[in-house]
């Protein structure tokens, strides 16, 4: 396997915690206090075929002392996507399932328990699995996308739950990832390295779309999208063949390729050759001089991949490899309040907790 990234130069503490169940996704819960931190896991127990959303408290002083199980909500179906709103006073956890149901859990910030829950059953939103969801900043709206080609916005604020169909391609297009950009706008991604920009004020289809025909040899699927609150015009996308690229709405024709194989004329560095499962802007690296980075430059991003790489990529710089595991890294999350800390879940039923100094 080609490993072009350099090992992490800074002190890095890694704790691997075996779980004896498969973790499909994981997120930090906004902390109540600096000493009381929790993570949310989408766990799947293959022995009992049971799925659950679990809240574990994590010992920040000594993460090797495993996670302490705190609360668990049994999910009727296996979870396909998990998102948490960054609202410390009342965190909202949204989980979509492979059966097509959506579950929104309201956590109590004081005891990190789940107070109440609203659900939409299978086949209400999508025919088949929901492949991607995203919660908006205050956790009141959740966008859902699926391979069936539907795009829905679910309103979970106030009383009950309601949804409206933004678009239905009737299967002509498929969507695999989504991310809010503003209260009215969001982006989606799908096969063919396609990225679509949606504006809820304009109906009848995407407001802008990008087709990944720059990949000459091979095409692929976008698995994850991130949009930085300070750069709402740029979609960061990660997908097949190790590709990570940024699509700037202001220069729609040409993407900025951060990593990937066989793309464009100048081959970009390739961290990984397989699926990039998740991308997130890395708020830790150079958080201080964020303002000094030119708005044309893509902010540093963290990725995790099928071939076991967790790394930070930056435009025009050599990537920094944080982890190189013998198995896939399915999902990761950077603690928004404490961006030096990262958790990720590994294919071989374990979790790794990283803290960067």
Partner 1 sequence: MPALPSHAGDTSLVLLPLEAPDSAAVIPFHHGVKPPISPRLSISWSRGNSLRVSVFKHSPQSDAVTSNSSNETDGGRVVELKLGSAGDGGGGEIDDAAQWRRIAYGSVAPFALLQSRKNSMSALSRMSSSSSYDAQWWAYVLEYSREINSLLGYQRSPPSPAIEDPRTVLKKVEEPTCLKAAWELMEVFYADKQSQAWLPERLVDWLADFDSLFSGTQPTIHSKLLDFQEELVTLQVFIGSIYWFEELFQGPLGQNQRSLGVHTFWDSSLGPSDVGSTSGGEERVDSVDSNLQLVVSVAVMPLDSVPASWKETVVGNQLIILVKRRANGFGKVLGVSMAAFEKSIVDLLLDIKRSSTHSSFSRKGGYKKAVEDDPRYWEAISLALAVGWLDIAVKLLRLHGSYQLNQLGNRETENGLVEAAAVLISKMPRMRSKSAAGNLGECFKSRPDFIKALEKWRAQITKLDCSTFWLQCGHHQTMEGLKSILQIMLGNASTLSASTCHWLELYIAHFIYIRPFTVGLESMYTLAQKCLQVKPVSHPHKLMKLLTGILGGNTEVVLAECSKMIAHAVELLTAGSSQADIVLHEERDNLGGISIEELHRLVYAQFLSSHALTWQIAPIYLTSCIKQGMGMLEILLYKQPVHHNQVLLKNLEICRLYELDRVSSNIMKMAGVHHWKHGKKGSGVFWLQQARDEFRLNRIAQHLFDFQWEGLIELLGSDSRTAGGFEFLHKYRDFKRSLQQVHDGTATDAAQRAAEALILLMKNPSTPHRFWLPLLYDSLKLFNWQECPLLNVPQTNLLLNKLQELSMAKLRPDFIEADLPLQALSSVRLALATNLGRAILDQ
Interface with partner 1 (CB under 8 A): 18, 20-22, 46-47, 49, 98, 127-129, 131, 147-149, 169-174, 176, 190-192, 194, 211-213, 216, 218-219, 221, 240, 273-275, 306-307, 326-328, 347-349
With tokens 């956590």, the residue in question is 107
- For residue 128, what are its two tokens? 């088949």
Q: Which is nearer to partner 1, 30 or 132 (CB)?
A: 132
Q: How far is the CB of 271 from partner 1 (least distance, A)?
A: 15
Q: Which is nearer to partner 1, 14 or 161 (CB)?
A: 14
For residue 213, is it left (φ>0), alpha (ψ between -120 and 50) or beta?
alpha
Q: By C-alpha distance, which of 191, 253, 198 is closest to 223?
A: 191
Cα 232–Cα 197–Cα 169 angle in degrees, nearest 5: 160
φ/ψ of residue 250, rounded to 5: -80, -25
Half-sphere exposure for 189 (CA within 13 Å, toward CB): 29
CB of 110 closer than 8 Å to CB of 91: no
CB of 215 closer than 8 Å to CB of 221: no
Burial call 122-137: b when 16+ CB within 10 Å, e when fewer: beebbeebbbbbbbbe
Q: Which is nearer to partner 1, 33 or 49 (CB)?
A: 49
Q: How far is the CB of 213 from partner 1 (least distance, A)?
A: 5
Q: How far is the CB of 167 from partner 1 (least distance, A)?
A: 11
Q: Which is nearer to partner 1, 186 or 277 (CB)?
A: 277
Q: How far is the CB of 47 from partner 1 (least distance, A)?
A: 5
Q: Which is nearer to partner 1, 139 or 212 (CB)?
A: 212
Q: How far is the CB of 233 from partner 1 (least distance, A)?
A: 21
DSSP state letter for 263: B
Q: How far is the CB of 181 from partner 1 (least distance, A)?
A: 21
Four-residue CA torsion sign, 257, 261, 267, 272 = positive
Q: Which is nearer to partner 1, 127 or 161 (CB)?
A: 127
φ/ψ of residue 56, rounded to 5: -120, 145
Q: Which is nearer to partner 1, 80 or 85 (CB)?
A: 80
Q: How far is the CB of 336 from partner 1 (least distance, A)?
A: 26
């Amino acid at each position: 396997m080609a490993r072009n990234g350099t090992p992490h130069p800074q002190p890095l503490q890694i704790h691997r915690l075996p779980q004896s169940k498969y973790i499909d996704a994981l997120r930090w819960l906004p902390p109540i206090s600096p000493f009381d931190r929790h993570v949310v896991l989408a766990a799947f127990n293959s022995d009992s075929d049971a799925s659950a959303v679990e809240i574990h408290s994590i010992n920040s002083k000594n993460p090797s002392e495993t996670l302490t199980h705190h609360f668990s909500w049994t999910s009727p179906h296996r979870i396909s996507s998990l998102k948490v709103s960054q609202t410390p006073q009342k965190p909202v956890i949204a989980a979509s399932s492979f059966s097509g149901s959506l579950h929104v859990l309201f956590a109590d910030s004081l005891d990190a328990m789940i107070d109440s829950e609203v659900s939409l059953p299978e086949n209400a939103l999508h025919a088949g699995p929901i492949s991607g969801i995203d919660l908006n900043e205050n956790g009141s709206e959740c966008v859902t996308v699926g391979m069936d080609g539907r795009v829905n916005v679910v309103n979970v604020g106030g009383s009950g739950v309601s949804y409206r169909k933004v678009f239905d391609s009737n299967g002509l297009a498929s969507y695999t990832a989504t991310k809010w950009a503003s209260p009215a706008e969001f982006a989606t991604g799908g096969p063919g390295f396609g990225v679509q920009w949606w504006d809820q004020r304009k109906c009848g289809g995407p407001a802008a779309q990008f087709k990944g025909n720059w990949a000459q040899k091979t095409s692929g699927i976008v698995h994850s999208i991130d949009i930085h609150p300070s750069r709402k015009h740029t979609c960061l996308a990660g997908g097949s063949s190790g590709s990570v690229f940024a699509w700037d709405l202001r220069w729609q024709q040409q993407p900025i390729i951060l990593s990937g194989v066989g793309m464009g004329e100048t081959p970009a560095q390739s961290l990984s050759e397989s699926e990039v499962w998740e991308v997130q802007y890395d708020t830790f690296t150079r958080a201080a001089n964020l303002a000094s980075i030119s708005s044309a430059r893509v902010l540093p991003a963290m990725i995790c991949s099928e071939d076991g790489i967790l790394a930070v990529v930056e435009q025009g710089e050599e990537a920094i490899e944080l982890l190189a595991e013998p198995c896939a890294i399915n999902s990761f999350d950077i603690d928004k309040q404490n961006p030096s800390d990262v958790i990720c879940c590994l294919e071989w039923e374990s979790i790794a907790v990283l803290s960067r100094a």
